[in-house]
Amino acid sequence: MFFDEVTEPIAYEGPESDNPLAFRWYDADRVVGERTMRDHLRMATCYWHSFNWPGDDVFGAGTFDRPWLDGSQDPMTAARAKMAAAFEFFDKLGTPFYSFHDYDMAPEEESFAKSCANLDALADEAAEYMEDTGVKLLWGTANLFSHPRYAAGAATNPDPEVFARAAAQVRHAMDVTHRLGGANYVLWGGREGYETILNTDLRREGEQLARFLHMVAEYKHDIGFTGTLLLEPKPQEPTKHQYDHDVATVYGFLVRHGLEDEYGVNIEGNHATLAGHDFVHEVATAVETGIFGSIDANTGDDRLGWDTDQFPKSVETLSLVTYHILKGGGFDTGGFMFDTKLRRQSLDRTDLFHGHVLGMDTLAKSLLVAQAMLDDSALDDVLAERYAGWDDELGASILAGDHGLASLSDHVVDHDLDPAPVSGRQEALEGLVNRYVERVA
């Protein structure tokens, strides 16, 4: 046992509870609309920040109490201890899913074949833990950004041998994800971008990335993997210009290369704000373009311009995000995955519970707010009224293609058109959303 301070699974105690290790809003079996909270939110814990990261940063060493990371152990023994800790945590916390990168779970060796053997052995053990605990895999992925070979990119590397190495690694990570019944497979192109245009051929790198993504989609069908392939946008960090900048950029790339039916997006809150967008903008754009897939639930800091990956804590922000997800029909294979890090001073193992309880309660309360807004169709009514003209004769005939500039010009002159501006009522709508947040129960 690694989490001795938490002797029982975290339980729902209701909003009045002052127990920091209880849920005040996440009541897994509560039915909201047509699904239980568990099935709506499909929450997942990540392996990397929670179990691999020792709490180091660019200025200092690890601060966390994580005995399974003790470097004096044999790497496979350490990996097994880490897995035991991870599944003990998932089970006590009650997130129904988890996610991992290949080399979070298994130590990477110099030889690729040995790295694969390590991962195969550990994945077999993960399958047993999954069977015993009922925890499922939301998504798997390959780490194509940590090893120095990927410094200049994986698929977008100037060296085709690096492309080949990345392809081999993704193939194996997909095999393992498939074997473990993963609901999705994610590609985050952390090094698929560039530092300086002086050494970069944008056209070639774009073509390489497209070829890579076609190969991944073909392989998915070859092995009969039925999960969803997801790209995770991020504008920068670690590269200066990352190609998958935001949802709209990814959508344009997919359409340009005939890949839009094969891929969706995994939208991360902190990546959205790094791209200069509201989180909800990215979700709404993905729903609108039909590529919404999954969420990396986290938040940045208002004043820091990097990926701080903090636990989500704003019900206001997440209510709008969840509202747009519900409006789009809710999650299909995706879910809310906590791609979240504790602050470096949150040293104790129990802090991992505090972070996740904060995030899970924030999402649960947001779900209730979102469902209430949806049930009352308060925001939808505003939209219907605002755009009503487009359903009337003039709007409908413009959209039907019945007009050109000349005929519209005649229409303006004939009717002496002088349309009056109408209030957008932003503050009234912000107050409306606040009332839903205040009244949720």
Report the DSSP beta bridge partners of residue 229: 185, 263
Interface stretch with ligand XUL, choices 25-33, 184-192, 323-331, 352-360 (CB under 6 A): 184-192
Site for ligand XUL in 5-24 (CB under 6 A): none
* Contact between 104 and Co ion per CB under 5 A: no
* Contact between 232 and ligand XUL per CB under 6 A: yes
Residue 175 or 268 with smaller CB distance to ligand XUL:
268
Interface stretch with ligand XUL, choices 130-138, 182-190, 246-254, 272-280 (CB under 6 A): 182-190
> Which one of residues 339, 361, 365, 369 is an interface residue with ligand XUL (CB under 6 A)?
339
Site for ligand XUL in 272-291 (CB under 6 A): none
* Contact between 234 and ligand XUL per CB under 6 A: yes
Residue 44 or 379 with smaller CB distance to ligand XUL:
44
Q: Which residue is nearest to ligand XUL (CB)?
A: 188
* Contact between 339 and Co ion per CB under 5 A: yes
356 binds, among Co ion, ligand XUL, none (CB under 5 to 8 A by kind): none
Q: Find the shortest distance in angstroms from Cβ 269 to ligand XUL.
A: 10
Q: Find the shortest distance in angstroms from Cβ 193 to ligand XUL.
A: 12
Map residues 404-423 to x or -, x wherever contact with Co ion holds by CB under 5 A: --------------------
Provide the annotated active-site residues: 101, 104
* Contact between 296 and Co ion per CB under 5 A: yes
307 binds, among ligand XUL, Co ion, none (CB under 5 to 8 A by kind): ligand XUL
Map residues 41-80 to x or -, x wherever contact with ligand XUL holds by CB under 6 A: ----------------------------------------
Q: Find the shortest distance in angstroms from Cβ 153 to ligand XUL.
A: 15
**How far is it, in rounded angstroms, from Cα 316 to Cα 59?**
34
Q: 215-225 burial, b if ≥16 CB within 10 A, otherwise e?
A: ebbebbeeeeb
Interface stretch with ligand XUL, choices 10-18, 185-193, 205-213, 393-401 (CB under 6 A): 185-193
Site for Co ion in 231-290 (CB under 5 A): 268
Q: Find the shortest distance in angstroms from Cβ 393 to ligand XUL.
A: 48
Torsion 156-150-51-236 (CA) sign:
negative
Mapping DSSP onto H, E and C, the string for the chain reads CCCCCCCCCCEECCCCCCCCCEECCCCCCCEECCEEHHHHHCCEEEHHHHHHCCCCECCECCCCCCHHHCCCCCHHHHHHHHHHHHHHHHHHHCCCEEEEEHHHHCCCCCCHHHHHHHHHHHHHHHHHHHHHHCCEEEEEECCCCCCHHHCCCCCCCCCHHHHHHHHHHHHHHHHHHHHCCCCEEEECCCCCEECCHHHCCHHHHHHHHHHHHHHHHHHHHHHCCCCEEEECCCCCCCCCEECCCCHHHHHHHHHHCCCCCCEEEEEEHHHHHHCCCCHHHHHHHHHHHCCEEEEECCECCCCCCCCCCECCCCHHHHHHHHHHHHHCCCCCCCCEEECCCCCCCCCCCHHHHHHHHHHHHHHHHHHHHHHHHHHHCHHHHHHHHHCHHHHCHHHHHHHCCCCCHHHHHHHHHHHCCCCCCCCCCHHHHHHHHHHHHHHCC
* Contact between 188 and ligand XUL per CB under 6 A: yes
Closest by CA to 67, choosing from 112, 124, 4, 8, is 4
Residue 27 or 296 with smaller CB distance to Co ion:
296
Q: Find the shortest distance in angstroms from Cβ 6 to ligand XUL.
A: 25
Q: Which residue has the tokens 């070829």?
A: 211
- Give the total of residues touching Co ion (CB under 5 A): 3
Structure tokens belonging to residue 41: 């939110």
Residue 15 or 305 with smaller CB distance to Co ion:
305
> Which one of residues 102, 244, 246, 296 is an interface residue with ligand XUL (CB under 6 A)?
296
Site for ligand XUL in 102-141 (CB under 6 A): 141
141 binds, among Co ion, ligand XUL, none (CB under 5 to 8 A by kind): ligand XUL
Q: How many CA atoms lie within 13 A of 21 on its CB side?
A: 14
Q: Find the shortest distance in angstroms from Cβ 212 to Co ion.
A: 19
- Give the total of residues touching ligand XUL (CB under 6 A): 11
| Interaction site with ligand XUL (CB under 6 A) | 101, 141, 186, 188, 190, 232, 234, 268, 296, 307, 339
The residue ranges that bind Co ion (CB under 5 A) are: 268, 296, 339
